[in-house]
Chains A and B, each alone.
Chain A
Amino acid sequence: MAKVTLSGVSKTYAKNITAVQKINAEITDGEFVVIVGPSGCGKSTLLRMIAGLESISSGDIFIGDTLVNELEPAQRDVAMVFQNYALYPHMSVFENMAYALKIRGIAKNKIKLRVAQAAKILEIEPLLKRKPQALSGGQRQRVAMGRCIVRDPKLFLFDEPLSNLDAKLRHQMRLELKKLHHRLKTTSLYVTHDQVEAMTLGDRLIVMNQGKVEQIGSPIDIYQKPATIFVASFIGSPAMNFIEGILKPEENNVNCEGLGKVSLGEVNLHNPIEQGVTIGIRPEHIIIDTPDAINSFTLPVALIETLGADSLLHCGGFDPTQPAITIRLAGIQPFKIGTPISFSIPMEKIQLFNNKTGKNILPNVNAM
C-alpha cells in the first residue's frame, strides 16, 4: 500500500496532440480514487502512464516515495484489471492467478496458499481448474481481480473493468468491489466513464475533460458544488438543468430570457459584475405547486418519463426562447402533456456559472 503523487504529468503524442495535460493530484494511502470523464478525455492514458504501459512526456509520478517514471510496469509493484480482463486463454484460472508469482520465483506451496486465499475472498474456488473460455463475464472479472490480489501490490489500477458486463451484473460487481476495497484497503485508482460507478465507488473523484482535471473532490462535494459547468453537466442523472441569463449584481438576480428574473438571495459572488451566466439547478431540487414562493415560474409539460420510483417531468422548450427544464418528482405523477405547471427554484440550491470561463462563481467552491 502506498500513496501516489502526480506532479505536472503530461502526455503528448507526435504531431503535438496532447492527451493529458499537467495533472497534479495526490492519492493518499488506502484511498479509492475514481478518474471519471467522457471517452477520449485522457483518463485511460493517465492510468496507463501510472501503470508504466505508456511513457510520460513530462512531469513525475511517485508511487510511495519512489519516482517511477523510468521503471518497467513489473517494477512498479502495481496490478491492473483490464477492460477485457486480458486473461491468458490457454491457462487455467489457477495458472492465470499464479503466473505473476511464478515469474517472481515464489515457492510453489506459497503460491498455492496465496491463490487459495484470493480465490476464497472472491468466491471462485470451484473455478480454479477451468479455462477462461468456460467462465461467464462476471467470473472472468473476478479472476482478473484475483490475479491482482495474489500479488499484494502497492496499487490497484482498474481500467473500466465493469463496462463489458450487463447492467445487473455491473451493479453487483460494483458492490463487491466496494466491499473488497473495504477489506483489503489497497490504494486503488479506477477509471470509468460511468458517473454512477464514480459516485458510488470513489472516496474521491477526479473529473477530467479534454486532458485536463476539472475538479477533484469527494462525490458529494462534486455533486453539490460542481466547479465548472462541465462537471455539473457530467455528474448527475438526469443532468442538471441549465438556464442562461444575464447576472444583475446590484439586484442579486439573473434575468433569464423566456423565464424571468431568478433571485439569488444574499450571496458574495466572485467578480460581481453584469455578465452572461448560466444558472444550474438539479432536477430533484425543483419544487412544484408553490405559486406564492420566490422564483416561481410556470411552463407547460412537454413529456413525462415514468421510472416507477420517480417521474421525470420535461417542461418547456417549445420554442427556442423558452428554457427546457427537467423536474424529478417522487412516485407516479398525474400530469398531462401540455398543461402548465408551476414550480419554484430554491435559491440555496442554485449553481451559477460564468458563460465565458465555465467556472462556478459562487463562493465556497473547491475549484482547481
Chain B
Amino acid sequence: MVEKRSWLDYLAHFFLLFGIGLMLFPVYVAFIASTHTMPELMTAPMPLLPGDKFIDNYWQVLTGHNLAIGAPVWQMMANSLVMALGITFGKITISLLAAFAIVYFRFAFRMLFFWLIFITLMLPVEVRILPTYQVVASMGLLDSHVGLILPLIASATATFLFRQFFMTVPNEICEAARMDGAGPIRFFFDILIPMSKTSIAALFVILFIYGWNQYLWPLLVTTQEDYYTILIGINRMLAVSDEVPQWPIVMATTLLAMIPPVIVVVLMQRQFVRGLIDAEK
C-alpha cells in the first residue's frame, strides 16, 4: 500500500475475519454436535458449547459399537487411506513413466499417443463409469482394494504436468548424463526423478485429496461393509430408514474423515507451494 489508511486495514480485516468465520463455523458446529448426546442435540436452542460426551462418542465411533453400519470407522478410514495412497502413488508412477517416454524417446506415433492421453483429460470418471464397472466386474475385482484403485490410476493431468516439467529440464543435463555413462533407466531414477521432487510433492497433495474424496466409484464397487471407504460410511449412516440419523456419531465421523487430508496438506505445504510456483532448476 502506498500510504497508511487505517480504515482500509480495518475493513480488510473485517472481511478476512468474516470469511474465516464463515468457513470455520460449520466445522465448529460439527465439533459441538459430536460432543453431545442425541437428545441434548435435539433440544430447541441447539447447544453451542462443548458437551461432556466427547470421549464416549469418539470411542464409540472408532470401535464400532452400536453403529448403524457394521464396520468400525477405523476400518473405513484404513480403506480410504489405502485407496487414496494407491491412487496417488499409482498415478504418479504411471504419469512419470508416460511423460518420460513422451519427452525423451523418439518412437513411431509419439505425438498421436500424446494427444490420445491429452484428449482423455476431457473425460471425467463419470463419463466412462458404466463400461469401467463392467470391466472391473468381469475381472472379479468388485469389493476389493484393487478394484477401488485400478480404474482411477491413469491420469492425463499428471502426465501432462510432468511432460511440461521434463521439457524445461535443459537438454544438456540429459547429454551430460549420457557422457557420464548413464542409460535411460539410470538417468530416470538418478537425475530426472530427484529433479522432479517438488512437482511430485505438489501432485501428491492434490492427488491424495482427490483419492480421499472419491465418492461415486467406491459407492458402485463396494457392497460389503469391509470395503466401505469413510465417505460411503458417512453416507450409509445418514441413509437410515424410519429413524433420525445419529448426529453426534455422524459428526464425529465427519471430523475424523477430515484429519488425514489436513495432515497431508500441513506436512507438505511448503513443497506443495514450491511445486506449484517454480520447478527447482
Query: Judging by beta carbons under 8 Å apart, are B172 and A100 in contact?
Result: no
For residue B179, which residues in chain A have a CB less than 8 angstroms away from its CB? 51-53, 73-74, 78-80, 100
For residue A147, which residues in chain B have a CB less than 8 angstroms away from its CB? 176, 180
In the complex, B29 has a CB within 8 A of chain A:
no
For residue A53, which residues in chain B have a CB less than 8 angstroms away from its CB? 175, 178-179
For residue B191, which residues in chain A have a CB less than 8 angstroms away from its CB? 88, 90
Beyond contacts A86-B172, A86-B173, A91-B194: 6 other A-B pairs, Cβ-Cβ < 8 A, are A73-B175, A80-B179, A84-B170, A86-B170, A90-B194, A104-B181
Question: Complex: how many Å from CA A186 to CA B92?
Answer: 45
Given contacts A90-B195, A90-B197, contact A103 B175 (CB under 8 A): no
Query: Judging by beta carbons under 8 Å apart, are B182 and A84 in contact?
Result: no
Given contacts A86-B170, A99-B190, A103-B186, contact A74 B180 (CB under 8 A): yes
For B, the interface residue count at a CB cutoff of 8 angstroms equals 19
Question: Complex: how many Å from CA A347 to CA B62?
Answer: 103
In the complex, A265 has a CB within 8 A of chain B:
no
0/1 interface trace, chain B 182-194, chain A, CB 8 Å (1 if under):
1000100011001
0/1 interface trace, chain B 267-281, chain A, CB 8 Å (1 if under):
000000000000011
Could you give 15 example pairs across A and B, Cβ below 8 Å? A51-B179, A73-B178, A73-B179, A74-B178, A82-B172, A84-B170, A86-B173, A86-B175, A86-B176, A88-B176, A88-B191, A99-B190, A104-B181, A147-B176, A147-B180
0/1 interface trace, chain A 70-95, chain B, CB 8 Å (1 if under):
00111000111011111111110000
Secondary structure class of chain B's binding surface, majority of residues = helix
For residue B280, which residues in chain A have a CB less than 8 angstroms away from its CB? 89-90
A-B complex: 8 closest residue pairs judged by Cβ atoms: A74-B181, A86-B172, A100-B180, A86-B176, A90-B194, A82-B172, A103-B181, A73-B179
Query: Judging by beta carbons under 8 Å apart, are B176 and A80 in contact?
Result: yes
0/1 interface trace, chain B 127-166, chain A, CB 8 Å (1 if under):
0000000000000000000000000000000000000000
0/1 interface trace, chain A 188-221, chain B, CB 8 Å (1 if under):
0000000000000000000000000000000000
- Residues in B lying within 8 Å of A, measured CB to CB: 170, 172-173, 175-182, 186, 190-191, 194-195, 197, 280-281
When C-beta atoms are compared, the residue in chain A nearest to B176 turns out to be: A86
Min CB–CB distance A262 → chain B (angstroms): 50
For residue B194, which residues in chain A have a CB less than 8 angstroms away from its CB? 90-91
Question: Complex: how many Å from CA A87 to CA B180?
Answer: 12
Query: Judging by beta carbons under 8 Å apart, are A88 and B173 in contact?
Result: yes
When C-beta atoms are compared, the residue in chain A nearest to B194 turns out to be: A90
For residue A100, which residues in chain B have a CB less than 8 angstroms away from its CB? 179-181
When C-beta atoms are compared, the residue in chain B nearest to A78 turns out to be: B179
For residue B182, which residues in chain A have a CB less than 8 angstroms away from its CB? 74, 99, 103
**Most B CB within 10 A of own CB, among A78, A83, A91, A103:** A103
For residue B175, which residues in chain A have a CB less than 8 angstroms away from its CB? 51, 53, 73, 80, 82, 86
Min CB–CB distance A269 → chain B (angstroms): 48
Question: Complex: how many Å from CA A100 to CA B191?
Answer: 13
Question: Complex: how many Å from CA A53 to CA B175?
Answer: 7
Question: Complex: how many Å from CA A4 to CA B120?
Answer: 52
Min CB–CB distance B25 → chain A (angstroms): 44
Question: Complex: how many Å from CA A53 to CA B177?
Answer: 11
